[in-house]
Amino acid sequence: DAGVTQSPTHLIKTRGQQVTLRCSPKSGHDTVSWYQQALGQGPQFIFQYYEEEERQRGNFPDRFSGHQFPNYSSELNVNALLLGDSALYLCASSSTDRGNTIYFGEGSWLTVV
């Protein structure tokens, strides 16, 4: 049973560029969330997708957007990258009808230079 998988694992972007991160949820899960974790801090909730719609959103600007596909996989897009967007981006998945426990992937390390 594959867990939550994310790609790429590491990437470097230049300030002002755009980035897309991808996530496949754990088998049987229909809800995907994204978190940002800056160095030395706990993960911060960005948004959550269920039934291909954004259901909840944290305190992040509109430069952060997402998408969920019919197979439940998801993408996180960040436009106009800033140096402060450098962080570990975590994808998490859960099921609305299987106990709701949230499981995390290993994350994508984004460095903005």
Partner 1 sequence: DAKTTQPTSMDCAEGRAANLPCNHSTISGNEYVYWYRQIHSQGPQYIIHGLKNNETNEMASLIITEDRKSSTLILPHATLRDTAVYYCIVRGRSNFGNEKLTFGTGTRLTIIP
- The residues of the shown chain that bind partner 1, judged by CB under 8 A, are 4, 31, 33, 35, 41-45, 48, 50, 55-56, 58, 88, 90, 92, 94, 96, 100-107
Task: Pick between residue 71 and residue 100 the one whose CB is nearest to partner 1.
Answer: 100
- The CA-based angle 53-59-102, given to 5 degrees, is 55
CB of 32 to partner 1, least distance (A): 10
Spatial contact of 74 and 91, defined as CB atoms under 8 Å apart = yes
C-beta of 55 vs 63, nearer to partner 1: 55
Pick from 52, 47, 4, 11: which is nearest to 25 by CA? 4
